[in-house]
């Protein structure tokens, strides 16, 4: 069986961290996000197709130096083709029932069980489903008791919602799904292809699961996923190798390798990447700090994201800011595209 991992998005909501790296290589507990997806694949998956575009060189390099015991193909799109277009572009690698995983979902889904469910139902498409409280922000599944999905209702008012179940970003698909996707253009799987499959085949199923699920699409969920995974491991902080820590790390903070934390400095729910130096008497709360940064003493930063290679002067106070003082990479969109079709 093959699995396609969608890893070609720009990750605009995670800027400026994604100005310099592929979103799926962002560290989570000091391990690249994509390694979690590789580790959740069942044994049956022998070939992984990485659907890439933006920063493909970094992804390629990562897989050249890290072996996951499976064949890995880096499938580079000539331009971003969207979640559906990327699947179509991987068509030549598909030999039968296959998986598609959004590269930015961290969850406890048991893919083996989902595949079994898919086969039992003789489904054309099975998608993972996750319950949410705030239905009005999502496409919600209208689902029958036997798991058959008959429609998705976009952003319903809570009282009008047919369920509280949303698309959790992992699919088990039959090859005939590929016939629904037009070649060579930007296509959204969720908005264009799934509704057609529901209408044409009626064999579109939803698979609910328990445990945890986080869409690591925004800075707040990037911090949340650290909290969640550390709670699961029953640890409250993480320090990478070769760190020098004089201050304090609390509330599920995580620092990478070669990080210096000065005296009387406090990290609270904060993630710091490799080779960053944070001077004395600094407070960082709900922040993410990129690689090779220098943060001056007596600063107070909250809800702030600092891109790679930035310097923050001493006595800086910031709240709810994005710090990036270099040119934006050529070709990086100035607004979110992702699943949204550019007009």
**β partners of residue 248:** 266
In the bound complex, what is the minimum distance in angstroms from residue 150's beta carbon to ligand GTP?
24
Look-up of token digits 């880096």: 74
In the bound complex, what is the minimum distance in angstroms from residue 125's beta carbon to ligand GTP?
17
CA distance 216 to 145: 30
Q: How far is CA 69 from CA 2, 62, 73, 115, in A?
A: 14, 14, 13, 21
Q: Which residue is nearest to ligand GTP (CB)?
A: 9
Residues that bind ligand GTP (CB under 6 A): 6-13, 23, 51-53, 77, 80-83, 86, 102-104, 217, 336-339
The closest alpha carbon to 324, from 299, 307, 304, 305, belongs to 307
287 within 8 A of 16, measured Cβ to Cβ: no
Q: Closest CB to ligand GTP among 217 and 296? A: 217
In the bound complex, what is the minimum distance in angstroms from residue 171's beta carbon to ligand GTP?
12
Q: Closest CB to ligand GTP among 5 and 141? A: 5
Q: Closest CB to ligand GTP among 207 and 222? A: 222
In the bound complex, what is the minimum distance in angstroms from residue 230's beta carbon to ligand GTP?
23
The two three-digit tokens of residue 102, written as one number: 């959004």
Q: Closest CB to ligand GTP among 9 and 240? A: 9
Q: Closest CB to ligand GTP among 8 and 27? A: 8
For 2-157, strand residue ranges (E) read 2-6, 27-28, 31-32, 47-52, 71-76, 98-102, 105-107, 125-131, 139-143, 149-154
In the bound complex, what is the minimum distance in angstroms from residue 190's beta carbon to ligand GTP?
9
Q: Closest CB to ligand GTP among 23 and 226? A: 23
Q: How far is CA 125 from CA 217, 284, 324, in A?
A: 24, 45, 42
In the bound complex, what is the minimum distance in angstroms from residue 42's beta carbon to ligand GTP?
20
């Amino acid at each position: 069986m093959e699995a396609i991992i969608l890893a070609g998005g720009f990750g605009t909501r995670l800027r400026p961290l994604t100005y310099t790296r592929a979103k799926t290589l962002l560290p989570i507990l000091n391990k690249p996000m994509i390694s979690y997806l590789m580790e959740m694949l069942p044994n049956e998956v022998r070939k992984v197709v990485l659907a890439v575009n933006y920063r493909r060189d970094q992804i390629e390099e990562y897989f050249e130096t890290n072996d996951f015991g499976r064949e890995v193909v880096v499938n580079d799109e000539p331009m971003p083709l969207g979640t559906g277009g990327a699947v179509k572009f991987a068509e030549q690698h598909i030999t039968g029932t296959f998986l598609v995983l959004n590269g930015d979902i961290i969850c406890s889904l048991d893919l083996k069980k989902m595949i079994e469910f898919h086969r039992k139902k003789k489904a054309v498409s099975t998608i993972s489903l996750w319950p949410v409280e705030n239905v009005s922000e999502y496409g919600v599944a209208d689902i029958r008791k036997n798991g058959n999905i008959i429609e998705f209702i976009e952003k319903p008012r809570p009282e009008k919602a047919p369920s509280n179940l949303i698309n959790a970003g992992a699919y088990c698909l039959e090859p005939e799904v590929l016939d629904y996707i037009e070649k060579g253009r930007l296509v959204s799987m969720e908005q264009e292809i799934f509704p057609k499959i529901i209408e044409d085949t009626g064999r579109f199923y939803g698979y609910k699961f328990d445990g945890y699920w986080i869409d690591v699409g925004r800075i707040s969920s990037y911090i949340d996923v650290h909290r969640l995974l550390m709670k699961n491991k029953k640890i409250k902080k993480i320090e990478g190798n070769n760190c020098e820590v004089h201050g304090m790390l609390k509330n599920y903070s995580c620092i990478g390798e070669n990080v210096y934390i000065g005296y009387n400095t406090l990290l609270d729910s904060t993630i710091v990447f490799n080779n960053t130096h944070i001077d004395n008497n600094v407070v960082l709360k709900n922040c993410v700090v990129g690689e090779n940064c220098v943060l001056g003493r007596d600063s107070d930063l909250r809800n702030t994201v600092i891109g790679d290679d930035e310097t923050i002067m001493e006595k800086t106070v910031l709240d709810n800011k994005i710090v990036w003082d270099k040119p934006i990479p050529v070709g990086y969109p100035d607004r979110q595209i992702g699943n949204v079709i550019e007009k």
